[in-house]
Structure 1
Amino acid sequence: MSNTDVKISNIPVKDVGSLVEALSSAYCSMINNGCSMKLMPSVMLWGAPGVGKSQAVRQIAKEIEANTGKRTAVTDVRLLLFNPIDLRGIPTSNADKTLAVWLKPQIFQMDESDDVINLLFLDEISAAPQSVQAAAYQITLDRVVGEHKLPDNCIVIAAGNRITDKSVAFKMPKALANRLLHLEVQVNFDSWKSWAISAGVHPSVVSYLSFRQTALMCFDSSSEELAFATPRSWEMVSNLLNNVNGDAWKISSLIYGLIGMSAGIEFISWCKCYEKLPSMEDVFSGRFYEVPKEPDELYALTSAMTKYASEHKDDVEGLRNSILYANLFPPDFSVMLMKDYMSIEKNFTQTLLRIPEFSRWMQTKGALLNGTF
């Protein structure tokens, strides 16, 4: 069993998508019912480095905003960099110089307004020394540290790596562990792909990982390699392609530095498929090309079309033309493209259903979309 498959016994295992759905649903129910967030247990997310724990917290904040009408303010605290004094604050004298008082740390300067939900994210808690973890007792259970109290509109989520990951990790004291709601985060490609499409991850990254799904997460705690592929490092590769240079070969050394030489060389070789693709402007304007026959080119084509569609969501005629072109694809790739289209943004399926060609596609291939034949 590889270290990416190691599970922590006796706690639920969730991919990022189902984790976000479960927690955001619980939080939104409490918020919409007028409940105080102190009634919700503090959450502890366990998982390998780069698996998507931090990304999940950001997605939860967005879901809360979308479903409650409230603004979220995320405070990200890397406990590895803190000591107990940092959490309690700096002592000073009171006005009469007769007693010591503690200045409130910046992390506790939160907005208590009714239209705001604060989210305190205690990241790398398992990497913090036990003296700092002990200071987290009060935060997770009593929602206080010393004299400082968290407001009732504050959610507390902690995250850390497992000891089996052999990253910096201290064993969590049982007393602290019993104060938390524990969930383990593991990689699921379909969940990651849905997020990646809606988040604008570069199409070459999406298409390559669609073709080679096992390359999404290559963390191995027994390896001495410094650069390796994880959802986090692939997101950074995408950021380079989107913002530095879209030609992977020209920034190859930067890509190698994120995911390693072996994965990087294979990915850059894959990117050459894009040179063979038809013009997306032509496809969406109704000029159809011969459909590629090789699987790698079809993966690249569907990702390029999804990216173009996400940037032209209001071009109904263009979407219509692309669906007509997709009817020429092998059935499994046609289904893949429509699933990707529906992941572009929330409720985008309703937009597609207003296009007659999509409705006809659903009538003929909808059973394949649902995984039945």
Structure 2
Amino acid sequence: MSIHILPHVRSADAAQLDIADDLLALLADTTTEPRTDTQLEALTLAVAADLPVLLWGEPGIGKTAALTQLAESLELPLTTVIASVHEPSDFSGLPIVGDDPAEQGVPMAPPDWAVRLVRAGRGLLFLDELSTAPPAVQAALLRVVLERRVGALTLPPGVRIVAAANPRSSAADGWELSPPLANRFVHLQWTHDHEVVVRGLGGVWPRARMPRLDPEKLTEAVAFARRAVCVLLAARPKLVHQLPTTETRRGGAWASPRSWDMTMRLIAFATAAGSSRDVLSQLIRGTVGDGPGFELLASMDRMDLPDPEALLADPMSVALPERGDLRQAVLDGVVAAVRKCPDRARWDAAWAVLVRAADTGAPDLVVVPATTLATLRQDNWAVPASIDRLTGVVSVSQRADRAADLVEAGR
């Protein structure tokens, strides 16, 4: 017995599919808007610097969607490769026996996605699910990520590499990244912003755009980046190479000569683009790790601090920092300079600096430097008249300290 489908029934079903397609198209019809997003800016800056980026985030957080939108904004063809479903030969190449292997060797044939990227000359290579790739695949990816080689092909300079991974706790059959592979990436923690998600589901997502590099600042940016990294490593040589002791931390950002070189590049790009401190912090800590990263950020803050000797030479000529911790560092440096080379003129000048600091900022910051500076006075040095302006500040602070001590003793 055969079953015949009536023509009008099939046409009605087909029409419903057409309507369903129209509805899906309306749901997919979204737009973008300029919006401050530090993690998106950090991603685009690292992509501009031509450094491999690895986005870490829980499943469903929007890593793939962000990469798709980034590729569209930059007008780059997106090539997605799921690392965990490929064999090592898909990245190192398949051996192809030629006419005379003894003379010509055995070339390694690249996969089709690599051939397409080379033909296009540019693109965004997205290595997804990296944390579920077994160790053998991770080893094959080393040359792809660092040397941009896939089999016998070399990816053109116009190809950028971005990867995504889930933490091992939420990855299906997840693996920790091997230290050599992890050290080749800029690691960015990808989180969701409630306002961005709500507005995006309403049809408007933030727009990714390349950083605007100032051509007038390029030379200055490179000099600043080199000085920032070299000043820290000269003072803290142990930071040059710090392989973490735990397997989990080895699979993230850690300090090595390679990652310091990447950090220097990111500082230069961030400086030329005028990026915020939050963006720079994400990039630096995502390259050398939190500990060395915070030390570098603190060192950079102090690179542009006023010279204590310049302040002692003319207390009114140099602007004091607005930030409390930086101002405190400057005042401590002035007192330390007087202690190192004490004389009456320098001692008087230091008091003038402290008075100026008390008049233009938080007065409590001068308490400790003033107390220390007072102990440096020699018997034949007259007390400057300006010190009277600090007497109230110091006495109030001392009374507050004594009151806090009494409260603590009562507890």
Pairwise TM-score range, normalised by the shorter structure? 0.3 to 0.5
TM-score (norm 1): 0.41
TM-score (norm 2): 0.38
Q: Which has the higher contact order (CA 8 A, sep 6+)?
A: 1
User: Between Structure 1 and Structure 2, which shows a larger proportion of helix residues?
Assistant: 2
Larger radius of gyration: 2
